Amino acid sequence: MTSLSRDTVVGVVGAGAMGSGIAQLAATNGHKVLLFDQDASALDRAMAAIEKNLARSVEKNRITGDHGAEIRNRISTAGWETDGADAYADLKNAGLVIEAIIESLEVKRALFASLDKVVAPDAILATNTSSLSITAIARASLRPERVLGIHFFNPPTVLPLVEIVPGLATSQEVTDASRSLMEEWGRKPVVASDTPGFIVNRIARPFYGEALRIYEEGIADMATIDWAMKEIGGFRMGPFELMDFIGNDVNFAATRSVYEATFHDARFRPTLTQQRLFDAGFFGRKTGRGYYDYSPGVTMPEPNQDRELGELIFRRILSMLINQAADALYLRIASAHDIDTAMTLGVNYPKGLLAWADELGIPETVKWLSALQDFYGEERYRPSPLLKTMAADGFTFFST
């Protein structure tokens, strides 16, 4: 299998925000990059964005003008108007191809089947999917052992986290080579098993879902929930602010994807509130309205700064997050270190959730979850078997 070094030509398929960011990152680290897209205008926008980013870096003295020009000159573009393997012929010398196209299993599998006929037998094929099965994508390749997920977070040039996700057939050599390359690019790779949502998108679901549940129950309004998570919890953004920032269409799609892929696990169930905002086209900041109204002159609602209420909100959401993190460890989705690294670097949580559980006391989290399960009688609140075992035996996730 190919070794990935600075001499490796990197192909990037898809010239959207993620694809252009990945291309810039690879070029910054010395690789020749070929950026592909079906849409010539998308390629033009991507290169304009890359040039703007590099100019900003020069202006802020992060790089010299000559270095910026070198990075830009390492990137070339190509497009096509017809499907088929011939369209990807320019990628024949790429040792690594990363796709960042639409989140459609059918479309991605068609792409990988075409790439399979063009690239060298030892080239690595990677998908930047955030939710689709790596194993299902790899099935389109005649060499599924060389296919894996390399999931960047937006923007790739800024956020250091990368989820490395091997499929069932992915070779250990490919996994190790990809992880080493990401470290050479200055990223912080974590390894996740091929499960719905991987690490971040799986564990983060209660940050949104439990906040929505609290709102729908009438316990607190959105502004108060956001205030509690920021003021008491130390999160940079509250759940409703963050959903509006991400885009409610994107967040709702991620929730539905994980819910369906886990065979309708109640802990991931979407809410009617999400559905109605999606139906209305209230996607957040990008549409001018989401959970909040961003129209000019509209005053944002004031929270109820009741400390006791805020503590209740914070502990309820945090307990659910810790439960997901513990279950991810219990189900061998990732190591304890990689779980906490992913949540602090991928979504900027103030602390790793497992370390937070140690700090608060694991029995305290189990008590909160058990009380919620007793009150509501729902599987949604069931404590992880790992948490219950650790609470009974006095264990912690990390030695202190």
What average pLDDT does range 226-238 have in this prediction? 98
Residue 85: its pLDDT value, please? 53
Does residue 2 have a pLDDT over 70?
Answer: no
From 163, 178, 323, 384, the catalytic residue: 163
CATH code reported for the domain at 201-393? 1.10.1040.50
Residue 90: its pLDDT value, please? 86
pLDDT digits (tens, 9 = 90+) for 41-59: 999 999 999 999 999 999 9
Evaluate whether 9-191 and 201-393 have a shared fold: no
From 201, 248, 319, 323, the catalytic residue: 201
Annotated catalytic, 201? yes
Annotated catalytic, 163? yes
Q: What is the mean pLDDT of the chain?
A: 95
Q: What is the DSSP string of 205-248?
A: HHHHHHHHHHHHTTSS-HHHHHHIIIIIT--SS-HHHHHHHH-H
Confidence of residue 83 (pLDDT cuts 50, 70, 90): low
Does residue 81 have a pLDDT over 70?
Answer: no
Q: Are 46 and 157 in contact (CB under 8 A)?
A: no
Residue 132: its pLDDT value, please? 92
Confidence of residue 89 (pLDDT cuts 50, 70, 90): confident
Q: How far is CA 110 from CA 36, 117, 211, 221, 341, in A?
A: 15, 11, 38, 45, 33
Closest to 255 in 3D by CA, of 324, 209, 323, 198: 209
What average pLDDT does range 310-322 have in this prediction? 98
Q: What is the DSSP letter of 297?
A: T
Residue 144: its pLDDT value, please? 97
Does residue 1 have a pLDDT over 90?
Answer: no
Q: Which amino acid is at 88?
A: Y
From 20, 57, 114, 130, the catalytic residue: 130
Token couple for 182: 């990401």
Residue 323 CA to residue 36 CA, distance in Å, equals 41
Annotated catalytic, 151? yes
Query: What are the residue boundaries of the structural domains of the chain, listed by start?
Result: 9-191, 201-393
Confidence of residue 29 (pLDDT cuts 50, 70, 90): very high
Residue 32: its pLDDT value, please? 97
pLDDT digits (tens, 9 = 90+) for 124-147: 999 999 989 999 999 999 999 999
Residue 393: its pLDDT value, please? 95
% pLDDT > 70, the chain: 98
pLDDT digits (tens, 9 = 90+) for 6-22: 889 999 999 999 999 99
Residue 5: its pLDDT value, please? 86
From 99, 114, 145, 151, the catalytic residue: 151
Does residue 3 have a pLDDT over 80?
Answer: no
CA geometry: angle 226, 228, 234, nearest 5 deg: 95
Annotated catalytic, 130? yes
- pTM value is 0.94
Q: Which CATH architecture has domain 9-191?
A: 3-Layer(aba) Sandwich (3.40)
HSE at residue 293, side-chain half, CA atoms within 13 A, is 7
